Amino acid sequence: MANEHTCFIAGHANLPQGMAAKSVFDTLTITAEVDRKHGVILEASCTLATDHGRQYIHDLLKGISLKTGLAEAEALIRRQYKGKATSALLAAVHDLHRQYESMQEGE
């Protein structure tokens, strides 16, 4: 899917103590392939410990625009994800948004 109309960005956040992923990673990372023009997340991945958790976050974020949908992404995470990583996921999405805006300003 990668082409000149997409970019790959990553957002990072610290993981809380007591999480399974904490034994492997110190930070939670959300990576995304994003449409450059509209900011729509085409594919997303994260460093949660389970395949199911990673797939769930992918499904939750896919189709959301980093240009206009940050509040939507936050609301979905708050409403639908009920794990210890909620704050880290929210912070990583914010960082992902910052990375997208920085990329837009640089072009």
Render pLDDT for 17-49 as a digit per residue (tens, 0 to 9).
665 545 455 788 999 999 999 999 999 999 988
Q: Give 48-77 pLDDT, tens digit per residue.
A: 888 999 999 999 999 999 999 899 999 999
> Which architecture does CATH list for 6-106?
Alpha-Beta Complex (3.90)
Strand order across the beta sheet in which 27-35 lies: 6-14, 27-35, 41-46
> What's the confidence (pLDDT) of residue 15?
77
- Predicted TM-score (pTM) of the model is 0.87
> What's the confidence (pLDDT) of residue 53?
93
Q: Are 65 and 39 in contact (CB under 8 A)?
A: yes
Quote the DSSP letter at residue 50: S
- Going from N- to C-terminal start, the domains of the chain cover 6-106
Phi, psi of 63 (to 5 degrees): 95, -10
